[in-house]
Structure 1
Amino acid sequence: MWKQRHLDALADEEGLDFPFFDHARAWKLGSAMVSTAVDAALPVTIAIAFGEQRVFHAALAGSAATNDDWMARKFRAVAKHNCSSWAVACEARTEPEDYYIYGGYRTEDIALAGGAVPLRVCGSLIGAVGVSGLSEYDDHRFAVDAIRAFRASVTP
């Protein structure tokens, strides 16, 4: 089950690449995500990062500071593994070794939970788009769907 979810998570990332992505696009994508979340009354935090810099952040009603902590840890999973935090979480659940012990990671630094998706330009990882506040799969799905919809709406 987790092996298939890992493969599905990697497949989710296909086609999410951009020819370019700047601060203005981050604002537009983040704003579109906020609009969708507000319309559905979702208690989430939404963030977009370029490397270590948060270039968009919104904490909606019902979210908490712990969502910011989760987001930072999910973003580190993307940066370390160059795939979504959901893909990392699913793969870790297929392995017999403890992810944290085997990899030398600390739970305070990396989250094995869905919700952060790589932000790529011409195949290169430049950051991540993240959601925190729903179930880990729903966080992942929200981010992927938002990127896919935004990508379809912008001209190259």
Structure 2
Amino acid sequence: MSLGIPELEFQHRELQLPAAGLAETWRLGSLIVATALERNLPVAVDIRHGEQLAFHAALPGTSADNDDWIRRKAAVVRRFGEASYLVGERHRAKGRTFDLDPARYAAHGGSFPLLVRGTGMVGTVTVSGLPQLEDHLLVTECLARYLAEQ
């Protein structure tokens, strides 16, 4: 399974929160962790509000390597303003290699911009520990569930 660029762009337009202060980021992070625990998924979860670390959890089966992946995937989101998976898919669709420094950037799925409707990007929400598409799907599923509960 893969997601096409139009579907990824749709997610970018639709998965925007009404607000994203520290309380909201805590609730979103807690939802992602609860979902991962229910499914016994070995993931690390990281939410940044601007440059502030607003939420971080490392579940059993993760390591410091996951934190490095989080840092590099979130750097792609901060640079391009779009999901790390979408950035990677755009490069792959054009037959190009993502050529930014791999020690700093990873255009792999799992990081999504923390978007506030009418404001834009205020941070990042990132998951690491699963194959890239599964990381991306966990984030977007939980964002959609969070929005449905609002």
TM range (shorter): over 0.9
Q: How far apart are the structure 2 equivalents of 1:99 and 1:133?
A: 21
The residue that corresponds to 2:62 in the other structure is 63
RMSD: 1.7
The Cα shift of 1:129 comes to 0.9
2:132 alignment partner in structure 1: 136
**Contact 2:47-2:54 at 8 Å conserved across structures:** yes
- Aligned residues with identical type, % of pairs: 33
Q: How far has the Cα of 1:34 moved from its partner?
A: 0.6
Q: CA deviation at 1:56?
A: 0.2
Counterpart for residue 39 of structure 2: 40
Of residues 106, 109, 114, the one that matches 1:111 is: 106
Point out where structure 1 has 5 or more consecutive residues left out of the alignment.
none
Deviations 1:92-137 (A, max 9, x none): 112244331xxxx201111020000111112411111111001100
Q: Given the alignment of the two structures, is residue 148 of structure 1 paired with residue 147 of structure 2, yes or no?
A: no
Answer yes or no: is the 8 Å Cα contact 2:66–2:128 preserved in 1.
yes
State the match for 2:123 in structure 1: 127
Q: Shift of the alpha carbon at 1:37? A: 0.5
How many pairs were matched up? 149
Distance (Å, rounded) in 2 between the aligned partners of 1:109 and 1:83 = 17
Name the TM-score, length of structure 1 as normaliser.
Answer: 0.89
Alpha carbons 1:13, 1:144 under 8 Å: kept: no
Matched to 1:10, the amino acid is E
**1:75 equivalenced with 2:74 (yes/no):** yes
* TM-score calculated relative to the size of structure 2: 0.92
Q: Structure 2 regions of 5+ residues with no counterpart?
A: none
Q: Which amino acid aligns with 1:120?
A: L
Distance 1:21 1:40 in 2: 26
